[in-house]
Amino acid sequence: MSCFRSPYSKRVRTGACKLRGMECIQMSGTGLSDTVVLVDDEHGIRTTLDFIFYREGIELSLAENGQEGIELVERVRPKVVLLDVMMPRMDGYQVCRAIRGNPELDGMFVLMLTARGLPSDRARAMEAGADCYISKPFDHEIVVKMVRNVLGGRIPDDVTVAAVGKLASAGFGVPGADCD
């Protein structure tokens, strides 16, 4: 498995989940860590989001394909998974189905970030179990705001109902987002 970090990260990758030298804080009752996993084969997206999340104080772990993504999600057990659709080895739909099919990973928020923006792509993502679908290019502030809400426990269990409405009421426009 070749999980890696960009130059902006201070995380030392070991078998255990570490957050800047401390054990990851666990969300009470869920067994999920207050971290985010990004699975995307595009180096530029990984590097950009890693820098943005680092600057925001949010721990981000990275994988460059679907197979590595599943392994990383099972090991890190994040609250949030940011997932591309078109990737080598396994596409995002397959990764999302694998996450939803594993009862130990119950409660994770899966946000698809993809260049595929057709209604049929969105429907396929929702059928696979995605909580939200945002087309690339996307506004980084929207993604950060959504992740902060999920990490802070401010998104209800049925996140697909109100995620975009919460962002809109916070003053963010959400072009390309579909979280109904």
Packing angle of the helix pair 66-76, 92-100 (nearest 10 deg): 30
Minimal CA–CA distance to 40: which of 30, 54, 50, 52? 50
Query: Is residue 7 situated within a structural domain?
Result: no
What is the domain-level CATH number for residue 143? 3.40.50.2300
Is the model's pLDDT at 37 over the cut of 80? yes
Per-residue pLDDT tens digits for 97-129:
999 999 999 889 999 988 877 888 888 999 999
* Segment 133-152 mean pLDDT: 85
Query: Is residue 30 situated within a structural domain?
Result: yes
Query: Is residue 6 situated within a structural domain?
Result: no
Query: Is residue 5 situated within a structural domain?
Result: no
Query: Is residue 33 situated within a structural domain?
Result: yes
Its pTM stands at: 0.72
Query: Is residue 8 situated within a structural domain?
Result: no
Minimal CA–CA distance to 65: which of 97, 40, 98? 40
Greatest mean pLDDT among 4-8, 10-14, 92-96, 175-179 lies in: 92-96
Cα Rg for the chain, rounded, in angstroms?
A: 15
Is the model's pLDDT at 96 over the cut of 80? yes
pLDDT for residue 176: 47
Query: Is residue 10 situated within a structural domain?
Result: no
Query: Is residue 108 situated within a structural domain?
Result: yes
What values do phi and psi take at 139, rounded to 5?
-85, 120
Helices assigned H by DSSP within 34-156: 43-55, 66-76, 92-100, 119-128, 140-151
pLDDT for residue 110: 94
Give me the number of domains the chain comprises. 1
Query: Bridge-partner residues for 134, per DSSP?
Result: 113, 177
Domain span at 111 = 18-178
pLDDT for residue 90: 93
Minimal CA–CA distance to 148: which of 82, 80, 83? 80
Per-residue pLDDT tens digits for 42-80:
999 999 999 999 999 999 999 999 999 999 999 999 999
Tokens for 10?
């201070």
